[in-house]
Amino acid sequence: MLSYMRSALDLLARPVHVLRGYSSATLRVDLLAGITVGTVLIPQALAFSLLAGMPPITGLYAAIVAAIVGALWGSSSHLHSGPTNTASILTLSVLLPIAQPGTSEFIVAAGMIAVMAGLIRLAMGLARLGVLINFVSDSVAVGFTAGAGVLIMVNQLAGLLRLNLGSGSPLETVGAAIERWNAVHLPSLAIGIATIVLIVLVPYITRKLPSILIAIAVVSLAAWGLDLQDQGVRMLDAVPVGLPPINQLPIFDLELIGHLANGALALAIIGLVEAVAISRAISGYTQQRIDSNQEFVGQGMANILSGIFSGYPTSGSFNRSALSYRSGAQTAMTAVFSGLFVLLAAFFLGSLLTHLPQAALAGALVVTAYSMIDRRTIVRIWRSARGDMVIMSVTLLATLLLPLQFAVLIGVLMSLGRYLMRTSTPRVEQVLPDPAYQHWTSAAGRLPCPQLVVIDILGDLYFGAVNHVEERILAILARQPNQRYMLLRMQNVQHCDISGIIMLEQLLHTLRAKGGDLFLVRVRTQVHERMQSSGLIDLLGDNHLLDDDAAIGHLFHHVLDPAICIYECDRRAFKECQNLPKRHLPELPKGLSSAIPAEDSIPTIMPQVLWERLHSTRPPLIIDVREPREFRQGRIPGARSEPLADLAAQLPELPKDRPIVLICRSGRRSLRAAALLMAAGYHNVSIVAGGMLDWEARNLLNAVGDQHPDEAAIIGAHGLAEPRQ
C-alpha cells in the first residue's frame, strides 16, 4: 500500500520534475517551437470549438489550459494536448440529446463531461492501468477516426453552403443539402473552397509556414477587402478578452451525471488511445521512453482543468505534436509556451478574430477531417487479419449510424472480446521433427509415434483457456489411443494459474491410468515456481522436467518400449529411431492369438525373488528376449540372449525340466515369448515383473558388454548385490 501511494504521488508530482530539470540551454529552441505550434493552435481551436457546438472562445480556453497542463503532467516531450477533431465531434454527439449547441446549458454540460472524462483518465493512471490501452485494437481507432472524419465533412456542409440542414444522420444531411442546392450561398461556398485549395497548395510552395494559418489569413483578408460580410458571409462572433473564467459546474446534479456517464467513458477511452498512440509514434523517432500511466495522468489533469476553466474535452493532437517535433522542440515546455502564446493572442488579437469567415473555418475542418481517413492503413487492415477487418468495419459503420459514444464502446468491446477469444483458445498442436530432425513442425498429415505424442501449447494456461487446452489435448490422444506417453512443450506458456495446475494434474492421472506418463520441457521460471508451490512438481517428479535437447533421447532410451519400436512401428518419427533394427515377428502357433496376452495369464516373478533363486542349488534359466544392443548395455548376469524375433522364427532347445524365466525391458516382449514357449509345451515358464526397468530400479547387479563364457560361474563365486527394497 505504501509503495502504491508513493507511486501515485510521484505521478502527481510530475511538474516538479519537469520544471526542476529544465535547462535554459533549450529555452530559445522550445520558445520558437512553441510559437510555431501556437500559430496553428489558434485557428484549430476556433474551428474545433465550432465543430463541438461551442462558442469560439471556449476553444481558446481549452487550448490554453490543456496545452500547459497536459505537457506538465504528461511523459512525452512532444505530445500536444488541446481541442481535436475527434474530441470535438464526440462532445457534440454526446451533448446534442441534452441541450442545444451554444446555449449556457450546453456549455456547462461540456465542462462537466470534460471533468468526468478527466477523472476517469486520472483514476486509471493512478491505478497504473496504462497497460489496458494495449487491449484496444488499432482497428478501433482507425475505424472510429475514419467514420468521425466522414461525419465532420458532412457536418461542415452547413457552414460551407450557409444552409440550415438540421441535425439528422449523415445521409439525411447530404439529402437535405441536395434538396436545397438552389439556396446555397455562393460567396460562402467560394470562401470555403478557396480555403481548401490554399491549404492543399501551400505545402507544395513551402513547408516552413503552417498552411492552415496562411490559408485562413489570406481568405480573411480577401473577405474583408471585398466586404463579403455585407453580402451575407457569416463571421465569428466577438471573442471576449481575458483569462479563462472558472465554470460553475453542477457537480451534485446526479441526473446530469447519469446522462453523461456513457459519453464520458467513451471520451476517456478514445482520448487515451489517441494520446498514447501519438506519443508512441513520435517516440519512434526520438527514442524517448513513454510512460502510459503518466500520460493517463496528464490527459486526465488536462481535461479536469479544461472543464473547470470554461473549456471542453481535449486530447492529443497528431498534427500539432508532429509540428512540435519538426520545429525542433526539445522538452515538454514547448507545449507550455504554445499555450501561453494563445493566451497572449487572445488579449491582443481578439478584435481581429471577429473578421474570420465561418466558411473558412469550415473549409479548414474539411481538410483536416479528410486527413483523418487513413486510407493506406484501412487497405492494410482490410487485406490482413479478418478479425481486425471486422472490428474496423463495424466501428466505422457504428460511428456513422449510432451516437458516437456507443460506436466507441462497441469497438472497444469487440476488441476486448477478440482478445479474450484469442487468449482463451490458444493453439494446441501436435508436432514432429522436420525431415532434417532440426526443428519441430506441425504433425498434420504425418504419421506420429505410436507411443509418444509431443504437443506444443501456444498460449497461457489460465482459467479462461484450460478447458480449451484440455479438450484439444484429449482430442489428440483420442486419435491415437495407444499413445501413453506425452511430452508437453511449454516455452510459450507465460502464465499458469491454479486452473492450469489442476488441468495438468488431471492429464497426469489420465496418462498414468493408461500405464503412461507426462513429461515437460522448456518450463519458464515463473511457471515452474507456480508448479513447485502448488505441489505439482512433487506429484510429477523432478525427473519429468527434461532438457529440451535431450528429452527425446531420454524418453527413447529409458521410457518408451523398444519392442513396439522394433517389431510394430515403421514410422521412424524421431532421429533416435533411425538406427533401430526393423524386425517382423512370425505369426504365433496355431490356436494362439497374435495379441499380447493379458498380464494375469502368465506367471510372474518379482526381481527380489528371482535374485534369491539365482543363489539356490537349482537356479532358473534366464532368457533375455531383448535385442543384442540392449542386452550388451545391461543384463542379469548369467542370462542367455534369445531375441524375440529369433525365438519366434525357431525355438531353441531349452530344458523342459528346469524353470525358465523370461525378461525384457518392461514385460511386453516377455509376454509374447512366454506365449510361444507355453504353446510349444514349456509349462514351467514365468516372466520378470517390471522387466529390466524394475530390476535396475532395485539396484540389482548388472552385467554389461558381450557375455563371458564363464559368467554364470563368476556370478556364483562373487554373489549378487542385495536388492533395494
Summarize pLDDT for 362-380 with one digit per residue, the tens. Answer: 888 788 788 878 888 899 8
Other Cβ atoms closer than 10 A to 256: 20
Phi-psi sector, 74: left (phi>0), alpha (psi -120 to 50), beta = beta
Highest-scoring range by mean pLDDT, 77-81, 214-218, 569-573: 77-81
Residue type for position 41: L
Number of DSSP helices (H) and strands (E) in the chain, helices first: 32, 13
Give the chain's mean pLDDT: 85
Predicted local confidence at residue 593, as pLDDT: 44
Q: Calculate the CA dihedral of residues 489, 493, 494, 498 and round it to 10 degrees.
A: -120
Pair (32, 55) in one structural domain: yes
The answer to whether position 580 is within a domain reads no
The answer to whether position 383 is within a domain reads yes
8 Å CB contact between 468 and 458: no
8 Å CB contact between 368 and 318: no
Pair (114, 160) in one structural domain: yes
The answer to whether position 593 is within a domain reads no
The answer to whether position 578 is within a domain reads no
Pair (123, 205) in one structural domain: yes
**617 vs 116, higher pLDDT:** 116
Pair (472, 380) in one structural domain: no
Evaluate if residue 281 carries a pLDDT over 80.
no
Cα–Cα distances in Å, from 302 out to 165, 267, 362?
A: 34, 13, 26
The answer to whether position 375 is within a domain reads yes
Q: Per-residue confidence at 466, pLDDT binned at 50, 70, 90?
A: very high
Predicted local confidence at residue 722, as pLDDT: 45
Phi-psi sector, 53: left (phi>0), alpha (psi -120 to 50), beta = left
Predicted local confidence at residue 307, as pLDDT: 96
Please count the structural domains in the chain. 3
Share of the chain above pLDDT 70, in %: 91
Q: Which residues contact 360 (CB under 8 A, 6 or more apart)?
A: 191, 192, 194, 195, 215, 216, 219, 220, 223
Distance of CA 170 to the CA centre of its chain: 35
Q: Three-state SS for 624?
A: strand
Enclosing domain of residue 535: 427-568
8 Å CB contact between 54 and 46: no
**Burial classification of residue 427, based on how many CB atoms lie within 10 Å of its CB (0-12 exposed, 13-18 middle, 19 or more buried):** middle
Q: Measured between alpha carbons, how far is 431 from 129 in angstroms, rounded to an integer?
A: 38
Active-site option among 449, 565, 577, 664: 664
- Residue where a domain terminates, one of 371, 389, 416: 416
And the C-alpha cell for 690?
Answer: 517390471
Q: Per-residue confidence at 725, pLDDT binned at 50, 70, 90?
A: very low
Highest-scoring range by mean pLDDT, 41-50, 247-256, 690-699: 247-256
Pair (391, 485) in one structural domain: no
Task: Give the CATH number of the domain where residue 464 resides.
Answer: 3.30.750.24
Pair (65, 104) in one structural domain: yes
Q: Which residues contact 541 (CB under 8 A, 6 or more apart)?
A: none
Signed CA dihedral, 690, 695, 699, 702: sign only: negative
> 516-560: per-residue pLDDT in tens?
899 999 999 999 999 999 999 999 999 999 998 899 989 988 888
Question: What pairing do the DSSP bridges indicate for beta strands 517-521 and 685-688?
Answer: unpaired
Average pLDDT over residues 196-201: 91
8 Å CB contact between 724 and 639: no
Helix axes 254-286, 104-126, angle to 10 degrees: 60
Residue in 409, 402, 128 with CA at minimum distance from that of residue 269: 409
And the C-alpha cell for 54?
Answer: 461551442
Q: Three-state SS for 490?
A: coil
> 576-622: per-residue pLDDT in tens?
887 776 666 555 555 444 444 555 678 999 998 998 888 888 889 99
Pair (447, 562) in one structural domain: yes
Evaluate if residue 408 carries a pLDDT over 80.
no
664 is catalytic: yes
Pair (540, 642) in one structural domain: no
Pair (228, 112) in one structural domain: yes
Predicted local confidence at residue 616, as pLDDT: 83
8 Å CB contact between 290 and 78: no
Evaluate if residue 687 carries a pLDDT over 90.
yes
Beta bridge partners, 130, equal none
| CA-derived radius of gyration, the chain | 40
Q: Per-residue confidence at 716, pLDDT binned at 50, 70, 90?
A: very low
And the C-alpha cell for 461?
Answer: 494456461
Share of the chain above pLDDT 90, in %: 35
Residue in 89, 101, 125, 99 with CA at minimum distance from that of residue 408: 89
- Residue where a domain terminates, one of 348, 383, 416: 416
DSSP per residue over 46-108, as a string? HHHHHHTT--HHHHHHHHHHHHHHHHHHSS-SS-EEE--HHHHHHHHHHHTTTS-TTSHHHHH
Pair (8, 97) in one structural domain: yes
The answer to whether position 725 is within a domain reads no
Pair (463, 356) in one structural domain: no
Highest-scoring range by mean pLDDT, 108-117, 208-217, 345-354, 444-453: 108-117
Predicted local confidence at residue 167, as pLDDT: 66
Average pLDDT over residues 12-32: 87
Question: What pairing do the DSSP bridges indicate for beta strands 485-489 and 545-546?
Answer: unpaired
- Residue where a domain terminates, one of 381, 416, 451: 416
And the C-alpha cell for 285?
Answer: 523517432
The answer to whether position 647 is within a domain reads yes
Distance of CA 8 to the CA centre of its chain: 27
The answer to whether position 51 is within a domain reads yes
Place of cell 516538479: 16
Lowest pLDDT segment from 157-161, 499-503, 529-533 = 157-161
Predicted local confidence at residue 723, as pLDDT: 45
Q: Which residues contact 692 (CB under 8 A, 6 or more apart)?
A: 626, 634, 635, 636, 663, 664, 665, 666
8 Å CB contact between 311 and 125: no
Q: Measured between alpha carbons, how far is 93 from 155 in angstroms, rounded to an integer?
A: 11
Task: Give the CATH number of the domain where residue 642 resides.
Answer: 3.40.250.10
Residue type for position 94: V
And the C-alpha cell for 668?
Answer: 511386453
Pair (383, 503) in one structural domain: no
Q: Measured between alpha carbons, how far is 625 from 639 in angstroms, rounded to an integer?
A: 10
Residue in 620, 651, 648 with CA at minimum distance from that of residue 636: 620
